[in-house]
Structure 1
Amino acid sequence: MAGLMIDRVTKRFGEQVAVDALSLDVAPGQFVALLGPSGCGKTTMLRMLAGFEALSEGEIRLGGRTLASREQHVPPERRHMAMVFQSYALWPHMSVADNVGYPLKVRRLEGDAYRRRVAQALDLVDLAAYAERSPQELSGGQRQRVALARCLVADPDVVLLDEPLANLDRHLRAAMELSFRDFHRRTGATMIYVTHDQSEAMSLADRIAVMRDGRLEQWATPEALYRQPRSAWVASFIGQGSLLQVAAGRPGQRLEEDTLMRGLAAVAAERTQPVLVRPEHVMLLPELSSQRGLRARVESATFRGERYELHLRLESGEALLAYHHAALVEGHDVALLLREGWCLEPDR
């Protein structure tokens, strides 16, 4: 299986730069998410990978083969990639089996070999029993699995997925996340998955490329993005947390409790280092009179099922998010400790 190399790829539409010098090195068999808000360039990047858009600058390579550069453009049908669209793109007049087998018919594969490949693809997405049904008889999640099987049947080097769960309701999205993970585990395919939903990306991907305004903000594992975001923007986009200013540390440094608490106690003019504090690292103290803790006022308490989400206001005026096992009265003061924080680069 070949690795995918995206080398300083740029795409311009007139004066607008949609993708700006993006570089990624995707290992064979990796599940990669392109994550970012609408308009950040992630779908444009996917279309350049598929061959639907030409590059303005840079190069795309699959293994040792150049697929795209300023001088070269391999057409989509010769890239050995397959794409799953948000709209499924199934033919209503064909059965499920015929939809799945269409790429093989284009390649003129027939007979037992054709039937065997279609059956294997349907088995992998648990739809063998639905082979003779029409797409209209299936649920949204089942149609999405038909689209996956159609990708798989052609044995592509790379599977491209353009927000494939966006049209499904919350319950179906959760079920399909399990299907995608299982699909990846069983096939070992290299997958590039575009989404604006950070929870999808965090639960599915081996590595995530966080994009903003056409640029790569950070390229890391889901755990590294959560625990060690590079900038304030990434920290606010991935998970929940609070951004505070402290007089301690440097970007890329983890602050322990004592250092963090001293840094917060400094005068405002010295507190110039932005730091991320996740809500699970905020500990409420049982006694308000404790000399160890910071004072904060409860602004609201929201029940989230397994816990309460507390919105607090520090004496400095900064907002702080915390989790707690019980509701606290709005307007009351509490004492708290911050167990750790992560120092960020200033936002651009």
Structure 2
Amino acid sequence: MAGLTIESVSKRFGEQTAVDALSLEIEPGEFVALLGPSGCGKTTMLRMLAGFEAVSAGEIRLGERTLASRERQLPPEQRNMAMVFQSYALWPHMSVADNVGYPLKLRRLGGEAYRHQVAKALAMVELEPYAQRSPQELSGGQRQRVALARCLVTDPDVVLLDEPLANLDRHLRASMELSFRDFHRRTRATLVYVTHDQSEAMALADRIAVMRDGRLAQWATPQTLYRQPRSAWVAGFIGQGSLLNVAAGQPGVRLEEAALMRGLAEVAAERTQPLLVRPEHVTVLPDAPSRQGLQARVEGVTFRGERYELHLRLASGETLLAYHPVALGEGLQVGVILREGWCLERET
């Protein structure tokens, strides 16, 4: 398998820049997510990978082969990539097997070779018993797997997925996340997955390219994005947390409890370093508001099943999110200890 290289790729529509000098190195067999809010350029980037849009600048390479540049634009059928859309795009008058085998018929493959490829693709998504059914007889999740099998039947180098779970309900999305992980584990295909749902990307991808306004905001593993976000914007987009200012540390440094608590106790004018505190790193002391930690007031409580979210306000006026095993009354004064925090880049 070959790696996929996106080198300084831009896409302009008239005066508007949809993708701005994006660079990524995707390893063979890697599961990569393009994540960001609507309008950030992630789907445009996927369409440039597929060959549906020409690049305005930069290069896309698969191994040593150039797929797209300002001088060269391979058509989609010559890229050996496959794409799964939100709508599944299955033919209702064809059986599941015929839907899966359709790309092979376009390549004029028939006979035993055709049947073998279709059976292998159906086995990869565990749909062999449904080969002769029509798409209308399947659930939404099963139809999604048919679309995946149709992609795999031609042995593509890269599978592109454009928000494939967006049309499913929450319960089915959770089930399909497990299916996607199992699918990737068994096939080791290179997957590029577009989504605006950060929890989906975090659950599935080996690495995530977080995009904002056409640019790459951060490119990292899910764990790194959660624990070490580069900016306040990435910190707010990935997971839950509180943004505070502290008189300690510098960007890219983790502050432990002692240094963090001292830095928060300084006067406001000295607290110029932005900092992220995740709610699991906040200890709430409901019985000791004046003896330990910082003082805070409970302003809201949200029940999340296995825990409560406490929405707190510090004496400085800053807000703080914390987890707690029991509900606390609104207006209650509590103490809080922050066990660690991550220093962010200052916004320019």
What is the TM-score of this pair, normalised by structure 1? 0.99
Aligned with 2:179: secondary structure? Answer: helix
What is the DSSP-based 3-state SS (H/G/I as helix, E as strand, rest coil) of the residue aligned with 2:116? helix
SS at match of 2:38: coil
SS of residue paired to 1:167: coil
For residue 316 of structure 1, what is the aligned residue in structure 2?
A: 316
Q: How far, CA to CA, are the matches of 2:8 and 2:26 in structure 1?
A: 14
Give yes or no for the alignment of 1:89 onto 2:74: no
Q: Distance in 2 between matches of 1:121 and 1:174?
A: 23
What RMSD, in angstroms, separates the aligned Cα atoms of the two structures?
A: 0.8
8 A Cα contact 2:29 2:189, kept in partner: yes
1:73 aligns with 2:103: no
**SS class of match (2:191):** strand
> d(CA) in 1 for partners of 2:319 and 2:136?
50
Q: Deviations over 1:17-66 (max 9, x none)?
A: 00000000000000000000000000000000000000000000000000
Measured against aligned partners, the alpha-carbon deviations of 1:308-329 in whole angstroms (never above 9, x if no partner) come to: 0000000000000000000001
Shift of 1:137: 1.1
Q: Report the AA paired with residue 342 of structure 1.
A: W
Residues 164-186 of structure 1, C-alpha deviations (whole Å, 9 max, x = no match): 00000001100000111011000
CA distance in 2 between counterparts of 1:293 and 1:219 reads 35
Aligned to 1:260, the other structure's residue is in SS state helix
Q: Which amino acid aligns with 1:60?
A: I
* Larger mean Cα displacement after TM superposition, 102-111 or 22-31: 102-111
Match of 1:110 in 2: 110
Quote the offset at 1:113 in angstroms: 1.0
Distance in 1, matches of 2:331 and 2:291, equals 21
Q: What is the CA–CA distance in structure 2 between the aligned matches of 1:74 and 1:289, rounded to whole Å?
A: 66
Q: Is the 8 A contact 2:245 2:273 kept in 1?
A: yes
Structure 1's 291 and 57: CA in aligned 2 closer, same or farther, altered over 3 A? Answer: same
SS at match of 1:234: helix
Letter in structure 1 aligned against 2:28: P
Q: How does 1:214-253 map to 2 (within 5 A)?
A: 214-253=214-253
Q: Are 2:86 and 2:167, in contact at CA under 8 Å, matched by a contact in 1?
A: yes
Structure 2 CA distance for aligned equivalents of residues 161 and 204 of structure 1: 12
SS in 1 for 2:145: helix
**AA at the equivalent of 1:45:** M
Q: Which residue of 2 aligns with 1:25?
A: 25
Q: Do the aligned partners of residues 289 and 94 (structure 1) sit closer, same or farther apart at CA in structure 2, a change above 3 Å counting?
A: closer
1:201-220 equivalences in 2 (<5 Å):
201-220=201-220
Shift of 1:123: 1.1
- Measure, in 1, the Cα distance between the counterparts of 2:55 and 2:152: 27
Residues 194-248 of structure 1, C-alpha deviations (whole Å, 9 max, x = no match):
0000000000000000000000000000000000000000000000000000000
Residue identity opposite 1:11 in structure 2: K
* Identity between Structure 1 and Structure 2 (%): 80
Structure 2: which amino acid aligns with 1:44? Answer: T
Give the C-alpha shift of residue 291 in structure 1: 3.4
Q: Which residue of 1 aligns with 2:61?
A: 61
State how far apart, in whole Å, the 2-side matches of 1:289 and 1:259 are: 20
Q: Residue type of the partner of 1:344?
A: L
| Between 338-347 and 34-43, the greater mean CA deviation after superposition | 338-347
CA distance in 1, matches of 2:12, 2:301: 46
- Asked whether the equivalents of residues 289 and 295 of structure 2 are also in contact (C-alpha less than 8 Å), the reply is no
SS in 1 for 2:55: coil
Match of 1:299 in 2: 299
Q: CA deviation at 1:285?
A: 2.2
Provide the aligned length of Structure 1 versus Structure 2: 348
User: More displaced, 126-135 or 76-85?
Assistant: 126-135
Structure 1: how far apart are the matches of 2:169 and 2:87?
A: 14
Amino acid at match of 1:110: G
Distance 1:316 1:212 in 2: 31
Give the Cα separation in 2 of the matches to 1:159 and 1:208. 16
- What SS does structure 2 have at the residue aligned with 1:38? coil
TM-score, scaled relative to structure 2: 0.99
Quote the residue 1:132 is aligned against.
132
Structure 1: 5+ residue stretches without partners = none
Q: Contact between 2:289 and 2:334, CA under 8 Å: does it hold in 1?
A: no
Distance (whole Å) between structure 2 residues aligned to residue 347 and residue 203 of structure 1 = 28
Query: Which whole-Å CA distance do the structure 2 matches of 1:178 and 1:289 have between them?
Result: 44
Distance 2:86 2:291 in 1: 55
- 2-structure distance, mates of 1:315, 1:104: 67
What is the identity, as a one-letter code, of the residue corresponding to 1:284? Answer: V
**Distance apart, 1:289 and its partner CA:** 4.9
Distance 1:37 1:286 in 2: 37
- Do the aligned partners of 2:289 and 2:296 also contact (CA within 8 Å) in 1? no
